[in-house]
Every structure is written in structure tokens, then in C-alpha cells.
Structure 1
Amino acid sequence: MLAATGGCGMLGGSDESSEGGNGDLETSKISVSIMPTIDLAPFHLAMQNGYFKDEGLDVEVVNAPSGQASLTKLINGEVNVAYGSYTPFFIAQSKGAAELKFVADASSAGPDSTMIVAMPDSDVKDAKSLEGKRVAITSENTICDTLTKSVMKTNGADFSGVQWVSIPFPDMAAALQRGDVDAAFMTEPFITSAAKTVGAVPVFDTATGPTKDFPTAGYGSQAQWADENPKAVAAFQRALDKATREAADRSTIEPLMVEFAKVDKEIASMTNLLTFQSKLDTQRLQRVPDLLLEFGGIPERLDVSKMVAQPATDS
């Protein structure tokens, strides 16, 4: 198990150079904040198999309780790289809280991996019947309500009267069972777990139509750090890319889900996985701030091409 670390290197890294096989890096030490989610399986695979070390990187893992907390650690200079869902990064950028750049992709929504679920006896049966209902999400202006609004709009449903109720993913199943909410936006493995524990049933997939294969999470850094460390960024990307390719083998991933995301072994075997990604595609990623803008999450359009780190091309 990776232990949480108290102190981290300040933004900018150390002055020591790597002696790795890919040439000297601007810094060999990188601190990365993460949390226990299943789409971090390729990251743990890279750590476990020494892919970061092969690239001359000494990666320090810093645990965070949520994506927002991970981003806060980055903004405060506690870590060099933060993993998290994309929406908080764009909201922070739009508010001027920090100048951010993405250094690697992590995942996009695969079929049935992000869904609205309800209890079997609920009258929530489709997007239209979600109008005016109490819907559990982690918080507003996140992928949860943004994807839900998109699907409702596509299906001619009015989301303006939806009551968004902030509940952590692990607590949503119990809230559904008690009747505290009428439906819940869930990601895996919580969808599978809720079905097993309280009998929750899927209502609709939120990654369909305009939101099919929607980018869900990635790794970001402060722009200054990315600009000053292009070789280290490239090394980080190469290690993640290698692990992500290997993550196509589900048998490699399931044990990591159990160990690091604390997913029950049976649930891990049944879970619909997100699509693991590593390479940043500017056009694909532009979909996130564009959707946030459409639903009022950010006040003006953000140009993703200016927020993607440019790694050194030499290796």
C-alpha cells in the first residue's frame, strides 16, 4: 500500500539531475497527489513495475481525499502534479486561481461507467422523469451534474428544476435506499456496488450522444513548472503511456483496483471500466470546458491548446 506523505518538494522540484537512461532531466523528483479511484490503475502499474524509475523519475505519492483536495495541493505548491477530474481544473483556471497545464490524460467515460441510477420502485425511469427530482452528485459544476444536464437536454428534458444534493460516492447507495434522493449520478465501481448492496438499477448512461467517450480525468501541473521541466514532463508521459497500454489487459488491472481503490474483488471483476487514456488530445479535451460553458460552470470559453504542456521532443 502506498503511504501518504506529509511533506513534499516545493513547486519547481530539486536542482539535482536524473541519471536515467533517457538523458538528464531538469528534475528527477516529482510529487503527485492522487486518490483511491479505479482510473488510477495505470499510474499504480507504472509505480509497481518501475516505469517512472526507468525514465529517471523518483515519484513521491501524496494521498488526497478528493479531486478538489488534490487540485488544492497543486495550487498551494505542495505537489508538482495533481490527478483529478477535469472540471475543477478548468473552473480554477477560469477564476484565475492558478495558471494550469495538463501533463497527461487519465481516462474517459466508457460505456455504462458513468450512470444515473435509482431504486427499482422509483418513478425515475428515463431522462425526462428526472425533471424536478432530487439527484445525488458529489458537488455542482462537476462531471456529475454537467453530464447529466447534457443528456437531459439531448432528450428534451428540463434540468432547471433538478435538486442537486451533494453526497460522496460511497454514501450514495445508502441515501438512495433511505429515500433521501430520487436518483444518483454514480461512476464505477459504485454503480456495481450499489446494485449488489441495495439493488439500485441503471436509469441511463450519461456518456452517450454528445458526451460519448467524454474526457473524465487527467494530470495537471502549474504552468510554470511544466514550462520549466519539459524533459521531466516527457518522461512522466512515457512511463504512463507504457502502463496505459498494458492496462488493456483487464487481468493486470483488477488486482490494482482491489489493492489501491479498495474495491471488493467480486465487484472489481464485474465493474464496467472507464477507458484508460494517457495521450492528451486537445480537440477531445476541448469538449470539457465547452460543456462547462454551455451550462454556466465557467463564464467564458477556455482555449485548451494553451493549457496542454509541451514536453521536450528529444528523449
Structure 2
Amino acid sequence: MAALTLIPVLLSACSALVGSARDSTAGNGLERTSIKIAILPTIDAAPLWLAHDGGYFKAEGLDVQTVIAASGQAALAKTASGDVDIALSSYIPFFTAKSTGTIDVRLVCDATAVSAKSFAIVATPTSPVKTINDLAGKRIAMTAKNTATDLLAKSLMRDHAVDFTNVQWMQVQFPNVAAALAQNQVDAALLPEPYVSQAAKTAGAIPIIDVNTGATQDFPMSGYGTTSKWVQQNPKAMAAFQRAMRKATSDAIKDRSKIEPLLVKYAKIDDDTAKLLTLPGFRSELDALPIQRVPDLMLQMGAITSKIDAASMIAPHLAG
């Protein structure tokens, strides 16, 4: 997906995590003690914020700094240029880069997958769209062509034998979708949380169909990736990052109260929405079988032109 972005004012929200120059001297046996991560300030980053604020990175001897990127593609580009070490992105840019040969991508950690009610096609009560079967020929908001909003909407429509070839795909960024729905500029939109909750609050939008069904059930959404060169040069630092993320992800799954304040602090989601929104499926362990679903869908929809083996892109990972 082009990554799930929030409004630009959020660029300052993560400034507390952004450090100064990167320390590349070894410490605690690590090749480097300081790691820069390019992120988008979205719900997907919640376990990362927990690992930072909760001291999980520090316990592993790491000083993790974040850099805000405008999109998943931009985050990945920062790793290729060496500006950052690792990128958090939807999976689609990783596989696009692999397909085009622009970056030799390695996947370091899983991050999120679709969960029940965390991602939905929504419409207002006055919209002509009442069910998924009404989507043919309508105006549907998506962030950009060949992003998650584009491919998942088409996959859902295909599953229900709805013709998506004559849909009017309207490019609208997530923060602007609720207004577009309320002003009748679009008939429906595919949204992740927190935008599902925010669109319900500000535009009265209601879910038409949950993405967590059929071919898109539990669909992998985002992860952490870097270059093959970085993985080869920093195996111990990478393992330390993986250990911290494993613990933070596990704790986020067990107790959402640990991350709700972080969504308010860093993603600038209001306190009520943070408590009520549906969280995605947080993950840290990379499993090639479900991840393979991403390039397979991209191939089916014409976003890439040849099959990609996801297993070949997974970096050495912690066992168990």
C-alpha cells in the first residue's frame, strides 16, 4: 500500500524520537548501537513506540531514532540512500522495489495484518452504495493506483463478482476522505483505522463490508524492511532490534492500554478514538506463507509482472 499516512502536522508528533547523529561505534557486541527507522506515524508503528518509550530498545543496547517519511516508497528510498537503516512500510513498496530491481530488499520484522473491522469499505447513509454489489460504476476513494486501498478493494469486488473495470477511482488521501464522503464527492472509500472511526464520527460513514473476509482475511499489511547490504553488515544489531520488537509486539497484543497513550502522543489520535478504534493484527515474526499472499495479489492485479518468492526476501530471524 502506499502507506497509511496521517496529516502533515503529525510530522512533529514523533520529533521526540528523532535523535542527532547516528552512533556507529560498537556497543554490547553490536555492530552499531544507534539505528534510524523511517516511519509513517500510523497505528502500525504502535509497538515501535512502545519499544522506545518502554525501554525495550535500550535493554538491547540500542538507541532507536525515527525519521518521518511521506510514504512507504519514500521510507524505503531512505534506506537505499543510507539516510536510515530500516523502513516501516506497507508491504507493497517492498515487493514493487524487488520486482523492478531498484532495491535488494530484505524483510526484517512483520508489523501488521488486517483484523476484523480494522479495515473496511465505508459509505454514508445517503450514498447510493448500500452493499458491495452497488460499487460497480461508482466513485470510490483510494490513495493511489496499485496501493493497498486499490488492490484490496478490487480483490473484494472480484470475490463478489462485481465489475471493477468501470469504477471511477478517485485519488483522495486518508485524512481527506471523511470530508469527501460528507460532501458527496465520492460514493464509498476503503479505509483503515483510525479513519474508519473518524469517518463514522465526522461523516456518519458506516461499513459496507469488512476487508477481513474471503481472499483478504488476515491479509499482511505492513512490515519493516531494509537492504541486503545492511542485513549482512549488521546481523547482531538486527537481532537486537527483532528481540525488542518481539517483546513490544507481544505486550501490545496482551494489553492495549500500553499503546493507547502512544497513539494519542505520536499519532495525534484523540483519546476517545484511541480507546474505541479497532486495532490491526500486530505481528513481529515473519512467516513466508502469509507474506507470499502480497506479491501473489499484486501479480493477479497487474501491479507486478512476474512472480516473487517472499521467502527469499526474509532476513535471518529469531527462532520461536
Indicate if the aligned counterparts of 1:107 and 1:215 stay in contact, CA closer than 8 A. Answer: yes
Listed as ranges, the matches of 1:159-170 within 5 Å are 159-170=164-175
Asked whether 1:27 is paired with 2:36, we answer: no
Shift of 1:7: 7.2
Shift of 1:287: 0.5
How far does the alpha carbon of each residue in 1:64-102 deviate from its partner, in whole angstroms, 9 at most, with x for none? 232232122222221110001111111111111111011
Distance 1:66 1:91 in 2: 14
1:210 match: secondary structure: helix
Aligned counterpart, 1:280:
286
Determine what percentage of the aligned residue pairs are the same residue: 47
Distance 2:149 2:107 in 1: 21
Aligned counterpart, 2:271:
265
Distance 1:110 1:92 in 2: 26
Distance 2:102 2:21 in 1: 21
Structure 1 stretches of 5 or more lacking a match? none
The code of the aligned residue for 2:14 comes to L
2:48 aligns with one of 40, 43, 47? 43
Aligned counterpart, 1:59:
64
Aligned counterpart, 1:84:
89
2:259 match: secondary structure: helix
Structure 2 stretches of 5 or more lacking a match? 1-12
Shift of 1:179: 1.3
2:26 aligns with one of 2, 17, 21? 17
Aligned counterpart, 1:308:
314
Asked whether 1:144 is paired with 2:149, we answer: yes
Aligned counterpart, 2:10:
none
The code of the aligned residue for 1:189 comes to P
1:213 aligns with one of 204, 218, 239? 218
Q: Structure 1 residues 159 and 197, CA, compared in 2 at 3 Å: closer, same or farther?
A: same
The code of the aligned residue for 2:26 comes to S
Aligned length: 305
Q: Structure 1 residues 6 and 141, CA, compared in 2 at 3 Å: closer, same or farther?
A: farther
Please, which moves more after superposition, 202-211 or 239-248? Answer: 202-211
Indicate if the aligned counterparts of 1:230 and 1:311 stay in contact, CA closer than 8 A. Answer: no
Indicate if the aligned counterparts of 1:52 and 1:236 stay in contact, CA closer than 8 A. Answer: yes
Please, which moves more after superposition, 73-82 or 217-226? Answer: 73-82
Q: CA RMSD in A?
A: 1.6
Distance 1:129 1:38 in 2: 30
Shift of 1:135: 0.9
1:247 match: secondary structure: helix
How far does the alpha carbon of each residue in 1:14-61 deviate from its partner, in whole angstroms, 9 at most, with x for none? 2x2122xxxx12222211011210121110000011111111212121
Shift of 1:142: 1.1
Aligned counterpart, 1:155:
160
Aligned counterpart, 1:298:
304
Distance 1:84 1:162 in 2: 27
Indicate if the aligned counterparts of 2:33 and 2:237 stay in contact, CA closer than 8 A. Answer: yes
